[in-house]
Structure 1
Amino acid sequence: MLPFFPAFRQSRIRFPKVIGSLLFLLLLSGIAQAQTAKFTINGFIRDSESGENLIGVSIYNPKTGQGTSTNNFGFYSITLPQDTVSLVITYVGYERMAYTTYLNRNLEQNFSLRNNSQLEAVEVIGERSEKIKESTRMSTVSVPIAQIKKLPALFGEVDVLKTLQLLPGVQSGGEGSSGLYVRGGSPDQNLILLDGAPVYNASHLFGFFSVFNADALNNVELIKGGFPARYGGRLSSVLDINMKEGHMNEYHGEGSVGIIAAKATVEGPIKKDVSSFIISARRTYIDVLMRPFMNIQTGVAGYYFYDLNGKVNYKFGQRDRLYLSAYTGYDKFYVRFKMSDEENNSRLGWGNLTTALRWNHIVNNRLFANTHFTYTKYQFDVGNEYNSTYPDQNGELKTDKFLLHYFSNIRDLSLKSDFDFTPTANHYIRFGGQYILHSFKPGALQVKDNFSDGANNIDKGTQVLGHEAAVYIEDDIKLTDRLKVNAGLRFNNFLVDKKVYPSLEPRLSARYLLTEDLALKASYAKTTQFIHLLTNSTIGLPTDLWVPATKKVKPQSAEQVALGLARTVFDDKFEVSLEGYYKKMNHLIEFNEGADFLGTTDNNWEDKVTSGQGWSYGMEFFIQKKLGKTTGWVGYTLAWATRKFPDLNNGEIYPYRYDRRHDVSIVVSHQLTEDIDVSGTWVYGTGNAVTLDEVQYYMGGSGPIGDSGSRNNFRMAPYHRIDFSLNQTKKKSWGEVVNSFGVYNAYNRKNPYFIYFDEGYSYGNGQRRPKFKQISLFPILPSFTKSFKF
Structure 2
Amino acid sequence: MISALVLSLGLAAASLQGPVMGTVAGTVRGEVRSEATGAPLVGALVEVVGAELSRASVTDSTGGYILRAVPAGRTLLRARRLDHEPFEVEVRVPSSGEVVLHFALRSKPLQLSGIQVRGQVNGAAPTGAGQDTLPPVAPAMELAGLKALESTPGIAEMGFAERPRGSPEQRPADPSDVLFVRGGSADLKLVLLDGAPVYTPFHLGGLLDPFEPGVLHSASLYLGGAPARYDGGLSYILDMSTRSGRAGRLRSSGAVDLMSTRAVAEGPLTERGNYLLSGRAIHWLGIAPFVAGPLPSAYVDGLMRLDVRVGGEGAISFTGFRNQESVRLDADQGISAGWGNSAVSLRYHGRVAGNDAEIGVARSGFDADLPFAGNRSVTEGSTERLRVTGDVARHLGPVRLRYGASFDRTSFAFHMRPTSASTRSWFRDGAAAGDASGAYLDAGWQPSSRVRVRGGLR
Deviation of 1:345 after TM superposition, in Å, equals 5.0
Q: TM-score, normalised by structure 2?
A: 0.54
Select 2:370's aligned residue among 382, 392, 395: 382
Deviation of 1:465 after TM superposition, in Å, equals 0.2
1:382, 1:360 → 2: CA distance? 40
Aligned to 1:283: 281
SS of alignment partner, residue 204 of structure 1: coil
Deviation of 1:277 after TM superposition, in Å, equals 0.4
Aligned to 1:616: none
* Mapping 1:43-442, distance limit 5 Å: 188-207=187-206, 209-272=208-271, 274-286=272-284, 288-296=285-293, 300-334=294-328, 346-365=335-354, 367-383=355-371, 404-422=377-395, 424-441=396-413
Q: Letter of the 2:310 partner, please give it.
A: F
1:455, 1:280 → 2: CA distance? 34
Select 1:461's aligned residue among 426, 429, 450: 429
1:337, 1:479 → 2: CA distance? 60
SS of alignment partner, residue 370 of structure 1: strand
1:368, 1:362 → 2: CA distance? 5
- Contact residue 195 and residue 242 of structure 1 kept, 8 A: yes
- Contact residue 301 and residue 336 of structure 1 kept, 8 A: no
Q: Deviations over 1:121-179 (max 9, x none)?
A: xxxxxxxxxxxxxxxxxxxxxxxxxxxxxxxxxxxxxxxxxxxxxxxxxxxxxxxxxxx
Deviation of 1:335 after TM superposition, in Å, equals 8.6
- Contact residue 216 and residue 309 of structure 1 kept, 8 A: no
Q: Letter of the 1:348 partner, please give it.
A: A
Q: Give the direction of change, closer, same or farther, for the CA distance of 1:187–1:448 in structure 2 (3 Å limit).
A: closer
2:336, 2:428 → 1: CA distance? 19
Q: Deviations over 1:618-641 (max 9, x none)?
A: xxxxxxxxxxxxxxxxxxxxxxxx
- Contact residue 448 and residue 458 of structure 1 kept, 8 A: no
SS of alignment partner, residue 229 of structure 1: coil
2:324, 2:430 → 1: CA distance? 24
Does residue 397 of structure 2 align to residue 447 of structure 1?
Answer: no
Deviation of 1:293 after TM superposition, in Å, equals 4.5
- Contact residue 446 and residue 458 of structure 1 kept, 8 A: yes
Deviation of 1:448 after TM superposition, in Å, equals 5.4
Q: TM-score, normalised by structure 1?
A: 0.32
2:313, 2:260 → 1: CA distance? 41
Deviation of 1:310 after TM superposition, in Å, equals 0.6
Q: Deviations over 1:3-40 (max 9, x none)?
A: xxxxxxxxxxxxxxxxxxxxxxxxxxxxxxxxxxxxxx
- Contact residue 301 and residue 335 of structure 1 kept, 8 A: no
Aligned to 1:474: 442
Gaps of 5+ in 1: 1-184, 339-343, 387-401, 491-790
2:430, 2:256 → 1: CA distance? 44
Q: Letter of the 2:314 partner, please give it.
A: D
- Contact residue 189 and residue 232 of structure 2 kept, 8 A: no
Q: Which moved more, 1:277-286 or 1:302-311?
A: 302-311
- Contact residue 350 and residue 378 of structure 1 kept, 8 A: yes
Deviation of 1:457 after TM superposition, in Å, equals 4.6
Deviation of 1:190 after TM superposition, in Å, equals 2.5
1:379, 1:326 → 2: CA distance? 16
Q: Deviations over 1:404-448 (max 9, x none)?
A: 3212232211111111122x332311001111111123x431125
Q: Letter of the 1:248 partner, please give it.
A: A
Deviation of 1:403 after TM superposition, in Å, equals 7.4
Deviation of 1:261 after TM superposition, in Å, equals 0.8
Q: Deviations over 1:596-631 (max 9, x none)?
A: xxxxxxxxxxxxxxxxxxxxxxxxxxxxxxxxxxxx
Query: How many aligned positions are there?
Result: 274
* Mapping 1:465-544, distance limit 5 Å: 465-477=433-445, 485-490=453-458
- Contact residue 215 and residue 280 of structure 1 kept, 8 A: no
Deviation of 1:223 after TM superposition, in Å, equals 1.9
Q: Letter of the 1:331 partner, please give it.
A: E
1:433, 1:306 → 2: CA distance? 35
What is the root-mean-square deviation in Å for CA atoms of aligned residues? 3.4
Q: Letter of the 1:419 partner, please give it.
A: V
The structure with the largest alpha-carbon Rg is: 2
Deviation of 1:303 after TM superposition, in Å, equals 2.4
Q: Give the direction of change, closer, same or farther, for the CA distance of 1:484–1:449 in structure 2 (3 Å limit).
A: closer
Q: Which moved more, 1:345-354 or 1:454-463?
A: 454-463
1:325, 1:292 → 2: CA distance? 38
Q: Give the direction of change, closer, same or farther, for the CA distance of 1:306–1:482 in structure 2 (3 Å limit).
A: closer
SS of alignment partner, residue 469 of structure 1: strand
1:349, 1:444 → 2: CA distance? 15
- Contact residue 297 and residue 327 of structure 2 kept, 8 A: yes
Q: Letter of the 2:219 partner, please give it.
A: V
Give the fraction of aligned pairs with identical amino acids, expressed as a percent: 23
Aligned to 2:24: none
Q: Deviations over 1:75-127 (max 9, x none)?
A: xxxxxxxxxxxxxxxxxxxxxxxxxxxxxxxxxxxxxxxxxxxxxxxxxxxxx
* Mapping 1:688-699, distance limit 5 Å: none
- Contact residue 438 and residue 465 of structure 1 kept, 8 A: yes
Q: Give the direction of change, closer, same or farther, for the CA distance of 1:455–1:310 in structure 2 (3 Å limit).
A: closer
SS of alignment partner, residue 248 of structure 2: coil
Q: Give the direction of change, closer, same or farther, for the CA distance of 1:479–1:213 in structure 2 (3 Å limit).
A: closer
- Contact residue 259 and residue 287 of structure 2 kept, 8 A: no
Which aligned segments of 4 or more residues in structure 1 are displaced greater than 3 angstroms? 185-188, 205-210, 288-296, 333-338, 454-457, 477-485
* Mapping 1:24-39, distance limit 5 Å: none
- Contact residue 258 and residue 286 of structure 2 kept, 8 A: no
2:223, 2:331 → 1: CA distance? 48
2:407, 2:221 → 1: CA distance? 24
Aligned to 2:179: none
- Contact residue 415 and residue 426 of structure 2 kept, 8 A: no
Deviation of 1:201 after TM superposition, in Å, equals 1.0
2:201, 2:423 → 1: CA distance? 38
- Contact residue 404 and residue 447 of structure 1 kept, 8 A: yes
Q: Deviations over 1:666-718 (max 9, x none)?
A: xxxxxxxxxxxxxxxxxxxxxxxxxxxxxxxxxxxxxxxxxxxxxxxxxxxxx
1:189, 1:330 → 2: CA distance? 22
Aligned to 1:565: none
- Contact residue 230 and residue 472 of structure 1 kept, 8 A: yes
1:277, 1:222 → 2: CA distance? 26
SS of alignment partner, residue 190 of structure 2: strand
1:483, 1:292 → 2: CA distance? 56
- Contact residue 257 and residue 286 of structure 2 kept, 8 A: no
Deviation of 1:253 after TM superposition, in Å, equals 1.8
SS of alignment partner, residue 215 of structure 1: helix
SS of alignment partner, residue 249 of structure 2: coil
Q: Letter of the 2:435 partner, please give it.
A: H
Q: Letter of the 2:281 partner, please give it.
A: R
Aligned to 2:75: none
SS of alignment partner, residue 214 of structure 2: helix
2:335, 2:219 → 1: CA distance? 38
